[in-house]
Amino acid sequence: MILDGKKVRDEILSDLRLKIATKNLNITLAILLVGDDEASKIYIKNKEKYCKSVGINVLKYVFNETATEEDVIEVINDLNDSDITGIILQSPVPEGIDFDKCSNLIKPEKDVDGFTKDNIYNLYLGKKTILPCTVKGIIKLLEYYKIPISGSNVVIVGRGNIVGHPLSLALENMDATVTLAHSKTKNLAQITKNADILISATGVKHLITKDMVKYGSTVIDVGVTRVDGKIYGDVDFENIKDIAQFITPNPGGVGPMTVAMIIDNLVEMEERKNG
Ligand code: NAP
């Protein structure tokens, strides 16, 4: 069965649109873009489109290449003290600006991406936190299709700070038994074959082949590799779709869920702000 991220995204957004309207939530997202990165512009346009579609205001702060770290910090500080719901500092930023330093200045309760030290520390402690959007999107997708997490053997390939590492903490907090594999892992196929849920987040085209997948398992493909304008995932979908019981397409699986979780986090943050 295909885990249809677009369908689930649309259902989630339609529920959130209704909630925002009926509870009269006044939500504003501030997005800071520094420099001229083309991919970032596309990502921001996409975030803006979905925010507007559910009634969330978006304020964009666009800095040119020559902006200084102080310029960025000044705006973050002003936004922290304002009534705005959430702030995103779009990555990457030009050389000379320390992304981690700047993004860590965002107040944890306004940190839509869930990457500030406080939010990650809460995740580490298993306390309530704002989850990184891709991590939350994967969990919501599993929950939507009623795929059990508690007690399952989960293998995550890729230990990046955006997906693999925080995802391992989040799933551990949900009582999964998690193995985190990476480029130095020996006998990767032997480990992945043991997975009830196999999640690959490496950006290595078709790293996961059919001999690495357990029959009847769930396979989630997070990776994105662009070759000649075409997008490839980490998973050899065509040869695995008949072995796995559940599998995400790529594109069309995790990506749409990530965008939906930006909105989900914003609604959660505005509701918490209002007590
Ligand atoms: P990252 O920080 O570069 O991490 C990549 C991880 O993959 C590393 O842990 C690396 O291992 C591991 N790896 C590389 N080659 C491997 C191999 N041959 N075998 C096993 N592991 C290998 O990347 P990221 O930021 O976490 O993102 C991962 C992928 O997800 C990227 O393709 C990114 O574009 C995609 N992504 C998608 C979404 C979405 O919404 N769909 C969102 C975020 C990211 P080492 O640690 O040993 O180097």
The tens digit of pLDDT for each residue in 53-107 reads 999 999 999 999 999 999 999 999 999 999 999 999 999 999 999 999 999 999 9
CATH homologous superfamily for 24-107?
Answer: Leucine Dehydrogenase, chain A, domain 1 (3.40.50.10860)
pLDDT at residue 251, as a whole number:
94
**196 is known as an active-site residue:** no
Question: CA-to-CA distance for 101 and 106, rounded, in angstroms?
Answer: 10
* Catalytic residue chosen out of the listed positions 90, 136, 196, 214: 90
Among protein residues, the one whose CA lies closest to atom 40 of ligand 1: 255
pLDDT digits (tens, 9 = 90+) for 101-158: 999 999 999 999 999 999 999 999 999 999 999 999 999 999 999 999 999 999 999 9
Dist. CA 12–CA 264, nearest whole Å: 8
pTM above 0.95, yes or no: yes
pLDDT for 72: 98
Domain span(s) for CATH 3.40.50.720 in the chain: 133-255
How far is 123 from 165, CA to CA, in rounded Å? Answer: 11
* Amino acid occupying residue 27: I
CATH class of 133-255: alpha beta
* CA pair distance 91, 72, nearest whole angstrom: 13
Residues of the chain with CATH 3.40.50.10860: 24-107
Catalytic site includes residue 113: yes
Q: Helix crossing, 254-273 with 133-144: angle to 10°?
A: 100
Identify the residue whose C-alpha is closest to ligand 1 atom 18.
183
